[in-house]
Chain A
Amino acid sequence: MNFDYIDVIQTLIDGILFGSIYALIGLGFTLIFGAMHKLNLAYASSGIAGAYIGLMSLTIIGLPVLMVFIIGPIVAGLISLILYFACFRFMPRGNHLAPLMASIGALFFIDELIIHATAGSPLSFPAILQNSYFIVGEFGIRGDLLMIMGFSLILMVVVMLLLYRTKLGLATRAASQQPVAALLCGIPTHKTNATTFCLAGILGGFAGCLLAASVGVLSPLIILPLTIKGLIVTVIGGLGSIRGAVIAGFAVGAAEGIFLLVRGVNERDIYVYLLLFFFLVFRPNGLFGSTINRD
């Protein structure tokens, strides 16, 4: 195995840029976990489903390409909202298992629905800025990946602003820390949670669209790996830490690139998933997690 340091750094660049998508998904999981202390395993699938519907607006209705990136996230937000009502809204507050199982059921439902609707074959997705490519010294930077990174960063900043500078964000954070007390203070926790789900869904829709745009293809096969990597990002970043999810997203993207370089596409994911266990053994709190660790 002879790798030029150029190959390595190039891989890292590509990986980090691509990792912004994982950061978005991790952010979405973290938002939901932060609000309700529960995991929505169907989250990534709602993002991809949104991307599919966005694509349909192009192929079936014939809207301009840009609309895909607007309709996709909006629909994903709606799907996420439906997920909230289907799997989380009516569950007993302390029960963590039931909503988790329900979201697994929803994950399969959405996955199978997509497979049936598309007869299992991948669909081509408009790739933006396909041909732009910047040369910086010895390295090449893909224009579309750069745009994805930029877009993701903007989204992350918007989310942070929403959470920390708006009344809605304050209400959500209060509700997450003390759901009963928040209710008693007049905070409509169900509404704030629903809004969080919606917001996270929109993020997921962007992530789905951006992912599809960068590879040029939409396929139901990406749902599960995206879900798992998103979860890994969430856990490695520290459950509930937004900073952590963002940084972990880039880190996982970079690691994935290196594993791809070193072990090839068939084995790449094995090592990415093993990364999770590495963290569980040595840093169970994740990068920025609080002491949620028991025992």
Chain B
Amino acid sequence: MTYFLGILQTIGVHTLLGLSAYLLLLTGQLSLAQAGFFAIGAYVSGILTVIFGLHIFPALAIGAFIAGFFAFLVGFPALRVKGLMLVVATIAFSEIVRLFFFNLSWRVIINGIEVGPDSTQGFREIRYFAANGWEQIDIVGLIWFLVIAVMLVLWWLDQVRAGAVLRAVGADELAAQSSGINLTRVKIAAMTGGGVIAGIGGGLFAHSTTYIDHHTFVILLATFAVSYPILGGLRSVVGTLVAVIFIQGFIIEGLRFIGDYRYLIFGLLIVLVMNLRPQGMIDGHFLADIKKLLGRKTMRGKVDD
């Protein structure tokens, strides 16, 4: 049971990671900064509960807010320029964040024990859940509550004009601009939203694993983050969830058979998938076929105000 709950924890946290990349991918921008926002959410909320004794909810919220704030700061210069530059800038950002926390040492003594991030030793003893009587099932419940909440919000975006605006920018920037859309503003909004989501994920990750160090927040993590929505397709948020289950299931199960070679094969898989389906695995046609199989009509989209 613990094993199963543990998998649910991982999938939940990674879904948040994927959803944060999904939002920006809608506008056609590939960002590898999600690892950085995830890290900020993790460390900030961890520091808040461990050193300042905050309750988990405000800690998560503040962590997410600060992650979003940095997303805004990164987006501002990086989204004014060509998309390829954004990739470079976000890679640099994630590494800056990782190196920063690698060097961060903030140790205090609480109740006789020394706690806090300890640069290369990592950040141990993030024991909020255990110290406050949370069972593993409660933690999993919280994670998935937030996952579903975020998915609902992203689904709702497509029910109002914002979703169409985001997708229009991703579809054709020149046409979008000529239709009066402020491209930079839209992209920065998506980046900031993505930062907040990743920050929530990071905070949950830190508290559910109780130990974080800079090794987690590497570019590989950012690659996972964008792989999920690319694999799952941008038609709907559910695609990202399916992709997380698929990829994480592969990684976790792959642990048994391929052991340490799983990341090697992951890299190979990406190359393969990109060649076979450059537009992502679960695109509109795939979804339409599934719907036909399930007997529903294949009309997409919605007439709305």
Please determine if A and B sit in direct contact within the complex, based on CB atoms under 8 angstroms apart: yes
A→B interface (CB under 8 Å): 33, 38-39, 41, 86-87, 90-92, 95-102, 104-113, 116, 224-225, 228, 231-232, 234-235, 239, 266-267, 269-270, 273-274, 276-277, 280-281, 284, 292-295
Report whether A105 and B274 are in contact in the complex, using a CB–CB cutoff of 8 Å. Answer: yes
Which residues between 248 and 289 of chain B lie within 8 Å of chain A, taking CB atoms?
260-261, 263-264, 266-271, 274-275, 278-279
Question: Which B residues are CB-close (under 8 A) to A109?
Answer: 264, 267-268, 271
Task: Take A109-B264, A109-B268, A109-B271 as given contacts and tell me if A270 and B278 are in contact as well, using a CB distance cutoff of 8 Å.
Answer: no
Bound complex: CA A111 to CA B270 (Å): 14
| Best-surrounded residue of B74, B230, B261, B274 (most CB of chain A within 10 A) | B274
A-B contact pairs, 6 of them (CB 8 A): A100-B30, A100-B87, A102-B270, A276-B92, A284-B85, A294-B82
Q: How far, in whole Å, are A96 and B279 apart by their CA atoms in the complex?
A: 11
Q: Which residues of B contact A269 (CB under 8 A)?
A: 95, 99
CA gap between A102 and B278 in the complex, in Å: 9
**Chain B proximity of A49: nearest CB distance (Å):** 13
Contact present for B89 and A277 (CB under 8 Å): yes
Contact between B80 and A293, CB atoms less than 8 A apart: yes
Is the interface on chain B under 10, 10 to 19, 20 to 34, or 35 or more residues? 35 or more
The answer to whether the Cβ of B102 comes within 8 Å of any Cβ in the partner chain is yes
Set of chain A residues within 8 Å of B95, measured between Cβ atoms: 224-225, 228, 269, 273
Q: When chains A and B are docked, how far (Å) is the Cα of A41 from the Cα of B226? A: 15
Structural contact, A101 and B30, CB atoms closer than 8 A: yes
A41–B91 Cα distance when bound, in Å, is 11
Most A CB contacts (10 A, CB to CB) among B76, B173, B220 go to B220
What's the least CB distance linking B245 to chain A, in Å?
20
Name the distance in Å between A82's Cβ and chain B's nearest Cβ. 11
Contact flag A116-B260 (CB < 8 Å), given A105-B267, A108-B266, A276-B89: yes
In the bound complex, residues from chain A placing their C-beta under 8 Å from that of B30 are 97, 100-101
A273 to B249, CA, bound (A): 34
Q: Does B53 contact A (CB under 8 A)?
A: no
Question: Of residues 203 to 235 in B, which have CB atoms within 8 Å of A's CB atoms?
Answer: 219-220, 223, 226-227, 230
